[in-house]
Structure formats: structure tokens, C-alpha cells
Amino acid sequence: MSGTIMNFAASIQTLRKAAMIGASAAALLMLAPSAHASSLVTNGSFEQNGGNSGKIGSDASLTDWNANGGYTFLYTSYAASAITVDTVSIWSPISTPSSNNGFTSGSPDGGAFVAADGDYGTQPLTQTINGLTVGDTYAVSFYWAASQQTNWTGDTLQDWIVSLGSQTFTTPTYSLPSEGFSGWMPETFVYTATNTSETLSFLAYGNVQYPPFLLLDGVTMAPTPEPATLPLLFTGLMGGMGVLRSRKWLKRSR
């Protein structure tokens, strides 16, 4: 009887130790990414602006971003995209003329978004990213969509060309029907920093002048999880396995 009690007490102690190890590892795992939780991109939701929709650098301003003189527009809301600004509005059920193309709200990020012509006056939308560590990898995430300017018709092919410094990735090319809307799509690209300061750029591409308009919102950039977190994950898993083994042993002791 005394042996059973001792075994029971030992089992409880083992359970506590395993639980503490697992909890400690889990806490460290949660803290590791939180150190880099904030985005290195500033104003990635495009909400910091002059309050006006229109051509960036002309009718509208966009804090921390440079449109480089391109035919690139800021819309402060979904509703604003249906109003002709500098002759440009986007096909939607609320535009004039209208198209029942499913473009019924803003991006998943909400509020303001950018629209860039992919075949006329194309220039990249850029921001300088500082504080990078050479050799580290960084994930750039964003929402994008393919659309078309009102009063123009015709099928188009569209994509975003996204660069960090000299490294470039391209979103899948979207085949957009006339007066259509692709729906908002999430995308993430991973880059390796080659300098402590790099230029992040988004260049719209469209194959024909109908005109194709690429939409963009919710741009973020953060370091990818470091390999150093992997041993912590292993420790947490081992702690969890220890708990399971102890529970099984405890049942046998009873």
C-alpha cells in the first residue's frame, strides 16, 4: 500500500514537472514571434492619407509611400472607388455605369486601398524599409485584386510584380473578364535581406490597354520565424509527451 502511495506521489511530481516544461516552452514560443509582431511597413493599410481619393501625388497624398508619378490612385473607401476621380472609377454594382461583378465591399483589411493602371503610366508604388538584418528572411503579405476602369470593356490579364531590393516575385496572373472583378486574394512572398535598407515596390501589370486596374491593400512585412524557435518547439512537444506518459503510468499504478 505504501509503495502505491509513493508511486502515486512520484507520478504527481512527474506530471507537474512535465507540465511546467511544456508551459515554459509554449510561453517562450509565444514570446519569440511577439518581439517582431509589428510590421516593418508603415501605413500598409493606406489609412494615413490626405483624406481625398484620386491620383497619388496629384489629387491625393499617401503617407510613407511614393507612386513615382505613375497612374496610381488612392481610394479612401469602397464607395469612393465608384466615383469618377480624375476620369477614373472602378466597375462595380454601385459604379455608373454599373457591373454586377461581385465587387461589393472593400478589401479584407477595410477602408482605403490603392488602384494602379497596369498598362498606362506604369510606375511602382514604393516604400523604403529600414532596420533589416542582412541574411535574415522577411515575409511580405498583402491583399490584391484585379479590376477594370469603368466605361472600358475587354478581357485582360493582370498581376502584381513585387520586389524587395533586387529580389522579385510575381503574383499568379489573373484572367479577368470584361467589366469583371477577381475578388480580393491574399498573397505572401518571402525575401532575404541583402542590405539593412531595401526598397519594397509593387508594380502593376496588365496585358492590354482596356484599362486593367490592380488593387492593393493590407501590406505587412515581418521577419520569418527564426530557426532558434525550433528547439523550443521540440522541448514543448517532449514536455507534452512526458505528461501523456506519466498519465499512462499513473493509471497502471492504480
Q: What is the C-alpha separation between 80 and 90, in angstroms, rounded?
A: 9
Q: What range defines the domain where residue 117 resides? A: 54-223
Angle (nearest 5°) at CA 89 between 83 and 92: 90
In 130-211, beta strands by DSSP E? 137-148, 156-164, 167-170, 174-176, 185-192, 198-206
Q: What is the C-alpha separation between 168 and 68, in angstroms, rounded?
A: 18
pLDDT one-digit tens code per residue, 69-88: 999 999 999 999 999 878 79
Residues 238 and 180 in one domain: no
Residue 130, pLDDT > 80, answer: yes
With respect to residue 42, please indicate whether it lies within any of the assigned structural domains. no
With respect to residue 44, please indicate whether it lies within any of the assigned structural domains. no
Cis peptide before 231 (omega within 30 of 0): no
What's the sign of the alpha-carbon dihedral 137, 162, 216, 174?
negative
In 19-76, beta strands by DSSP E? 54-55, 72-75
Residues 93 and 154 in one domain: yes
Residues 80 and 157 in one domain: yes
Please say whether the beta carbons of 142 and 86 come within 8 A: no
Higher-scoring residue by pLDDT: 2, 150: 150
Q: What is the mean pLDDT of the chain?
A: 83
Residues 29 and 132 in one domain: no
Q: What is the C-alpha separation between 123 and 110, in angstroms, rounded?
A: 25
Q: Domain tally for the chain?
A: 2
Question: Is the model's pTM score more than 0.85?
Answer: no
pLDDT one-digit tens code per residue, 104-121: 999 999 999 999 999 999
